[in-house]
Amino acid sequence: MEKFIIEGQVPLRGSVRTNGAKNAALPIMAAALLTTEECVLENVPLVRDVWTMAELLRRLGCQVFVDDIRHRVVVRAPESTQLNAIVPADLARQMRASFLATGPILARLGQVRAPHPGGCSIGKRPVNVDIRSFSAMGARVRLFGDVYDMQADALIGKSIYLDYPSHTGTENVLLAATLAKGRTIIKHAATEPEIADLVACLTQMGARVSGVGTSYLVVDGVEALGGFHHRVMPDRIEAGTYAIAAAISRGEVVIHDIVPDHMDPLTHKLQEAGALVEIDGGDYLVRGTGRLRPVEVQTLHYPGFPTDLQTSIATLLTQADGISLIHERVFDDRLQYTSELRKLGASIAVTGHTATIQGPTPLVGTTVRALDLRCGAALILAGLVAEGVTEICDIYHIDRGYENVLSQLVGLGARVERVAFEPAAASA
């Protein structure tokens, strides 16, 4: 097992380049299941979830080559007769994005079997949107334990209203609809930029999709799709995490390769809190100023404030002068990480889906656990500002979504180490 050891209170200075977005790379890798032609994906973040998806595609019968020097993934899915209709349970239970294999396989084979997907433990994570949509398109869905078995003679395009604008659900229905017969209309679709990136890729494959970026997507099914050569969009959550690292450490960092629009909700809150933000094309400069003001944040669907940055902004607000409020409106149990921040000295009270943060509180290093991916990000940020040494255990969660976080931070001057340890010694 490994842990991060952070010696805090060093202002970060310098620049980092944003990696490709995990939550765009994963659905696009799944899109390769829709064709037997070669699919080339550039700017792929080398995070654990991407390796898991690569392995999942291999187990479904695809040839997958991950070039970890060039950050490139090449996938070639087999002919239908060789495509496996059973999503491997051990991998499916590791991440939510595993369920994105079901839409393409159902569309190509007329059958698929997959367990309920795993992922970070941040509340209920149903797949009702996917299941109801596939049923509306003609699939018969049966549940055996936690395994969905879906069969369809043919998927037929339908007008579908999503009960909830599920991010993964929208992607899954989109993937299936590209090869369905006729027109599928997805109303109340999620509008996250990662979905637009998937649509750009699908369009290159020959899919006919309109309404990109809106909550009303129209897909005209086609007979077959071709390959793609696509560059994954920059990771707005990774970029945002480094932006907050600059602000909380009272440093100055330029984050290269961002999309300014994607950063709007964070830019707005950082400025409201008193940090300096300057945007120049794809460069995002953040300077932490002396005094931070408290703010109120509510997480919402894009272009609202992203839930994936909620933990990080909350950590910043432990250093603001007064009472800040965080309302988590996307997931029903995404405030658990506050217990770890409290161990470092933060004053945070949680009532329902709202965290009340009383700042500024000096944070003091101790041993904490990354409970999930974004909890891990929050703890790194806390460690950067804490007095003394912060040890973060269970960092495998962080490896799911942040590539080379250690070298990125060290490059900015942080004193961070990654060390192996014996679990027995840790509990002693």
Active site residue 39: no
Least Cβ distance, residue 289 to ligand EPU (angstroms)? 28
Q: How far apart are CA 40 and CA 29, in angstroms?
A: 9
Identify which of residues 216 and 421 has a Cβ nearer to ligand EPU in the complex. Answer: 216
Identify which of residues 265 and 401 has a Cβ nearer to ligand EPU in the complex. Answer: 401
For helices 310-317 and 373-385, the axis angle rounded to 10 degrees is 20
Identify which of residues 206 and 304 has a Cβ nearer to ligand EPU in the complex. Answer: 304
Identify which of residues 36 and 299 has a Cβ nearer to ligand EPU in the complex. Answer: 299
Q: In 3-state terms, what secondary structure has residue 195?
A: helix
Cis-peptide into 104, omega within 30 deg:
no
Q: How far apart are CA 75 and CA 394, in angstroms?
A: 31
User: Which two three-digit tokens encode residue 284?
Assistant: 């995002």
Identify which of residues 170 and 267 has a Cβ nearer to ligand EPU in the complex. Answer: 170
Residue in 62, 120, 201, 393 annotated catalytic: 120
Least Cβ distance, residue 374 to ligand EPU (angstroms)? 5
Least Cβ distance, residue 146 to ligand EPU (angstroms)? 15
Cis-peptide into 303, omega within 30 deg:
yes
Least Cβ distance, residue 333 to ligand EPU (angstroms)? 9
Contacts of 358 by beta carbon, 8 Å cutoff, 6+ apart: 322, 323, 347, 348, 349
Contacts of 158 by beta carbon, 8 Å cutoff, 6+ apart: 136, 137, 184, 185
Residues lying near ligand EPU in the complex (CB under 6 A) are found at 23, 26, 96-97, 120, 123-129, 164, 166-169, 190, 192, 307-308, 330-332, 373-374, 401
Least Cβ distance, residue 402 to ligand EPU (angstroms)? 10
Beta bridge mates, 230? 41
Active site residues: 120
